[in-house]
Each structure stands twice: as C-alpha cells, then as structure tokens.
Amino acid sequence: MSRGRWRDMAAEELQQQYSPSRWARRLRGDAAVRAHIEAVTAGTQRARAGTRSSLHVPYGEADGERLDIYFPAEPSETFPAFVYIHGGYWQCLRGIYLCGHSAGAHLAAMVLCTDWTEFGVVPDIRGAVLVSGLYDLEPILHTYVNDALNMSWEVAQRNSPMLCITQAVPAAAACEVLVAVAQHDSPEFRRQSQEYSQALRSAGWSVSLLDLATVDHFDIIEKLSEDTYILIQVILNMIARG
C-alpha cells in the first residue's frame, strides 16, 4: 500500500484504519483500551516498587509536562538513559535511547529529525525504538482523531516525520533506529512503518524493521515487561552495542 492509497478509502474505512482498538486480538473497542491502561499501570507499579525512582519531575510549566526517572539497581557513575514516550494520540545527555509507542513513536521520530544545532546542543542519541508508530499525519486529518487535535494540513505536513527525513550525517548514521510493528496492527499502521523505515534507509540511516508476530497494537508494548520477549531482547542488544 503506497503513501497515497489512503486517499482511495471511504471515510468509514479510514476511521477503522486509525482506530487501533478495532484491530486488537484479545478485546475490542473501549475494552481493549481499558485493558491496556490496566496492564501498563500494573507494570509501572511493579517498577516503582522494585527500583529507585524520581517521580513527576517537571520539564515544562504545564501540568502534564512531567516525567518519571527510574535508576539502575546497581550504583553506577555512568549509565545509558532510555526514554520512553507513551502513546495516546498526543492527548493521553549521556548516551540516550529513545522509545516511543504509537503517537509516542511519532514524537520520538520528530526528535530524530530535529536540527538540534539550532538550539546549541548535539544530543548523544545512540538508538531509537519506534513501536507501531505514525509517521505521516495527513490521513489523521480525515479521522475522528482530528476532532480533538484540530490540525490543519500545514501543521500535519510540518509534523510528519516521513516528510522531514534528512540525509544522515555521521552523528545520525551512528544512531541505530528500530522500527517495530505488530502483525495485528491495521494495514495503515503497517504501511506507515514499512514506508518510514525504507525512507530512513534510503537517506543513509542505520535502520531495521521488526515485524512482530502474534501481537497487536497494545500488547506489542505491554510485553516489554517480559524478559524473554523478542523486542526487549533486541532493545538490550542495541544498548549493549552502543
């Protein structure tokens, strides 16, 4: 499915393509979203109980601009930072590794295409894990998602990672990018992951595409708490190489 094929879809089909809960395997609709929230909340509680943490650290002035920091169990002077950005359609400088899910993957991808020299910094981003993400926002304009976002076409174009990929400079080429997608993601989510990874590769980025069998848009990220899960193994190997 090429980038323009979504324009041939009827409005109802496009709504379904960008409604991940309609493609979930275990539950459907709101039940799938509630189960996902329960799963990640339980995982967060386990993490807080088992590690040192600094919670609700502000990085901006708005109430929602907070992050939780979890420290390694063993004291260390230096350690990699793994930054996870949750999904939710944007509503709900040691070595840095980014990880984003769904709309969070879009935000992580935007970090990759930002010209940080304009801000006087060169962050040491060594790896990025983009899970079931959105990299072309134009189709979103024609779905229920934009009822709340109210994006214009210009805003969607300006904030589509697919459209702002730059040729990889040496620092970017050293950043390993993993684009992961679920077998049971919608065809549109799968198309976006495939086309974005190919576009990065064509621009000289070090990128691989991981198509994960048996999982859907939600448990592809929920299973990160399982030591034997292939995605967590790939992430740990990426960090070890860095």
Name the catalytic one among 136, 185, 216, 219. 185
101 catalytically annotated: no
Among residues 101, 106, 184, 217, the one annotated as catalytic is 217
The answer to whether residue 86 is catalytic is no
pLDDT by residue (tens digit) across 72-101? 888 777 777 888 888 887 776 477 899 999
Whether the pTM exceeds 0.85: the reply is: no
pLDDT in tens, 134-172: 999 999 999 999 999 999 999 999 999 999 998 766 556
For residues 13-24, one letter each, b for 16 or more C-beta atoms within 10 angstroms of the residue's C-beta and e for the rest, the string is ebebbbbbbebb
Active site residue 217: yes
* Domains of the chain, first to last: 3-241 (3.40.50.1820)
Chain segment 222-240, per-residue pLDDT in tens: 999 898 999 999 999 998 8
